[in-house]
Amino acid sequence: MNKQKRIEILSRLRAANPEPTTELEYSSPFELLIAVLLSAQATDVGVNKATRHLFPVARSPQAMLDLGVDGVKHYIKTIGLFNTKAENVIKTCRILVEQHGGEVPENREALEALPGVGRKTVNVVLNTAFRWPTIAVDTHIFRVSNRTKLAPGKNVDAVEQKLLKVVPAEFKLDVHHWLILHGRYTCVARKPKCGSCIIEDLCEFKEKTD
């Protein structure tokens, strides 16, 4: 795929959604961090249902710590892997309180050191909470990048590096959200909705559907 085609794809996605954001509900960097941590192998809809009850009683790392592991489990038991996630939430909050003054650090290394927080989560937090031009690659973005040939790669890290290389600076801040939403609602896994896709004529996927 050439540069002109990539720019046109991104320009159309931007025109359709000029100010995209995450579908996770949050009101602070801390709430976003916890929501993303909980979202691994779970849907944003499912996470939001749980955090609508959890966040009003635990809006800070200290308040979350005060709930304890069992208290967190009570609120997130509808989410997959909730036992492990509850323990990671408490461990993460303890580090935030003891090492970062109860704040979410705007620092990649510090964030990656938190339990249950991987590179994808860090990229989401840095991008969405702190407006860094990072690109978090999940299953949707991996699929869209490979299927359209926008930024093909064998694994999520390869796709992330390819996107960082080929996406022009003006699109970098929002490309994560455009691609995730495109993968979630149009370029879906089993049968992409090519007939209603705004970039169908630019996409290099060979087996297009109606």
Would you please indicate which residues are annotated as catalytic (active-site) residues?
120, 138
In three-state secondary structure terms, 106 is coil
Task: State the binding site for [4Fe-4S] cluster.
Answer: 187, 194, 197, 203
In three-state secondary structure terms, 63 is helix
Q: Which of 142, 143, 125, 145 shows the shortest CA–CA distance to 134?
A: 125
Residue 58's Cβ-count burial label (10 Å; 0-12, 13-18, 19+) is: buried
Q: Packing angle between helix 156-166 and helix 119-128, nearest 10 degrees? A: 30
CA distance 94 to 132: 25
Residue 160's Cβ-count burial label (10 Å; 0-12, 13-18, 19+) is: buried
Yes or no: say if 69 and 76 are a contact pair by the CB < 8 Å rule.
no
CA distance 64 to 49: 17
